[in-house]
């Protein structure tokens, strides 16, 4: 059986790293891409508020450290709230859509019911 050629896709972390960080530099304990990645992963898993995002991250810290730096540990629910209130929503939407497009290209050969 021939090996399937792996498509080159940008990772979620790479794409979210392109979002401009609105925070004051000296007050940054957590990397913006870490906060946004955790937030997005938790939302995709059904979490609907900032407290749930922090709980999601604490429960999966070992897994998250496999692909995030987490220099300040797991962000608090207050940090999630402040960051999501401060980022440009259009920039976040654009990054999210870019990531979903790369996922779509990676699974291009798959058939879905909604096609």
Digit-coded pLDDT (tens) for 30-84 = 999 999 999 999 999 999 999 999 999 999 999 999 999 999 999 999 999 999 9
- The answer to whether residue 86 is domain-embedded is yes
- The answer to whether residue 111 is domain-embedded is no
Alpha-carbon radius of gyration of the chain? 16
Each residue of 38-53: b (16+ CB within 10 Å) or e?
bbbbbeeeebeebebb
pTM: 0.84
The CA distance from 22 to 10, in Å, is: 23
In which band, very low, low, confident or very high, does the pLDDT at 22 lie, cut at 50, 70 and 90?
A: very high
pLDDT, the chain, mean: 89
25 DSSP assignment: G
- The answer to whether residue 17 is domain-embedded is no
Write out the two tokens for 32: 């913006």
Domain that holds residue 99: 30-103
Please count the structural domains in the chain. Answer: 1
């Amino acid at each position: 059986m021939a090996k399937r050629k792996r498509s080159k896709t940008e990772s979620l972390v790479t794409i979210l790293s392109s979002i401009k960080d609105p925070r004051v530099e000296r007050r940054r304990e957590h990397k913006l891409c870490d906060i946004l990645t955790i937030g997005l992963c938790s939302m995709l898993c059904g979490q609907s508020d900032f407290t749930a995002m922090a709980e999601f991250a604490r429960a999966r810290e070992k897994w998250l450290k496999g692909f995030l730096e987490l220099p300040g540990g797991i962000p608090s629910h207050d940090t999630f709230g402040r960051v999501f209130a401060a980022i440009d929503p259009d920039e976040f939407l654009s990054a999210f859509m870019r990531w979903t497009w790369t996922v779509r290209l990676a699974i291009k050969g798959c058939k879905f019911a909604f096609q």
